[in-house]
Copies of this chain bind each other. A is one copy, B any other.
């Protein structure tokens, strides 16, 4: 249900007074840009875009909007793959790009407090000189607020955990426009219900995240990388299982299927063997990374790996991982003009080979062009289906394929989304995955914390 035009106008007048006209924008371009993301969903523009510069301003914005029944949609970098930022009922998109400061950093406590609009790469640039880093790396240069809101993870999660493991505390604007801190800065706490984790992954539907206190980690003395090809995909997965069971503390372990590897070769001008391939990264002392690589190599060879190439050279390592991180662009380059419809299944690792093989068979039968890349240490993989968004038949085939994949993952004890979030596209799977009682509880929580349903309406539950 949209707010009436009158209400929206009065709200925009209030916001103009609060922020000045240059931070309340209603031009077509800016509205269109804030009503679309990287997903295949049709765009839906907000009524206005506003740019707070502080938590206090953000609180005043929420109060002004909600006071008149106008929805608030948080906006970070717009890199969502699930339609999170679409303004389905209009309302005000709150773009946090001007809240991008590091508020404090403590190397003693290994934590940092930032505003929600800072991007991952900007944060990294601030942290590196201090000898620490923030490990969660979803690939895209997302904002930290957006990463918390979707419960993001990525290539390093196998070693360092996801956002859930690396956020200590959040500052959130609640539905009434009040400022709340979810918990103290202590490393651990049992003081009441865990509000921090409730807001991580809530996708802007319970409140507006304006600040985050994050765990940081000491920069490892040495990093090295390795790559190796397998004749069979299952050999790669079995290697991952053995590496983890042996406690080798790999920092990253990523799978690319032969279609993806071919795309990466072309896009990054590399000449890796076109086969199911594992990319590794190791962190530690010089000795550690060498012994970790030796252990991983031995396990990989037991499972049919050939051509295990290891490098401690910094530029070589960066080149390898840049290629991996560009796999999304590499995929899209396989079919110029196409959009990528990206799936996000995640299953227990013991079921991963089965799930992958069945999915590849399905890709073959459906005739889709769809490379696979996976955070295999977590059992999570993405199929990037390259499609013409203007061809309804093709979109329909992709949607049906994804539906089968989601059902397969859930049947294997997994989830419909490992890291991209529910957004617009996956609400319908929540009951299949969690059962009716869990979804009922989620709805009760939404109703309790946002009784008028004005935070990012139409998403999650």
Contacts and interface: CB of A to CB of B under 8 A. Distances in A.
Interface string A105-121: 01111110000000000
A145 interface: no
A174 B437 contact: yes
B241 A193 contact: no
A429 interface: yes
A418 B350 contact: no
Contacts of A288: 288
Interface in A183-230: 183-198, 200-202, 206, 217-218, 220-221
B193 A442 contact: yes
B184 A414 contact: yes
Given A108-B241, A110-B244, A186 B217 contact: no
Contact of A437 (B179, B206, B379, B460): B179
B434 A188 contact: no
A127 interface: no
A410 interface: yes
Contacts of A184: 410, 413-415, 433-434
B247 A218 contact: yes
Interface string A313-334: 0000000000000000000000
Contact of A194 (B164, B287, B377): B164
Given A179-B437, A434-B181, A444-B449, A193 B186 contact: no
A343 interface: no
A192 B414 contact: no
Nearest to A431: B192
A446 B192 CA distance: 11
A355 B229 CA distance: 54
Given A246-B218, A348-B109, A441-B174, A198 B201 contact: no
A107 B244 CA distance: 10
Contacts of A291: 285, 287
A205 B196 CA distance: 18
A437 B161 contact: no
A188 B165 CA distance: 11
Contacts of A200: 194
A103 interface: no
Q: Give 9 closest A-B pairs by Cβ, nearest first.
A: A197-B197, A448-B448, A108-B350, A218-B247, A189-B415, A151-B190, A180-B437, A444-B448, A186-B346
12 contacts: A107-B245, A108-B245, A180-B435, A181-B434, A186-B348, A187-B379, A189-B417, A190-B417, A190-B420, A193-B445, A195-B434, A197-B197
Interface of A: 106-111, 131, 150-153, 157, 161-162, 164-165, 174, 178-198, 200-202, 206, 217-218, 220-221, 241, 244-247, 285, 287-288, 291, 344, 346-350, 377-380, 409-410, 413-422, 426, 429-430, 433-435, 437-439, 441-442, 444-449, 460-461
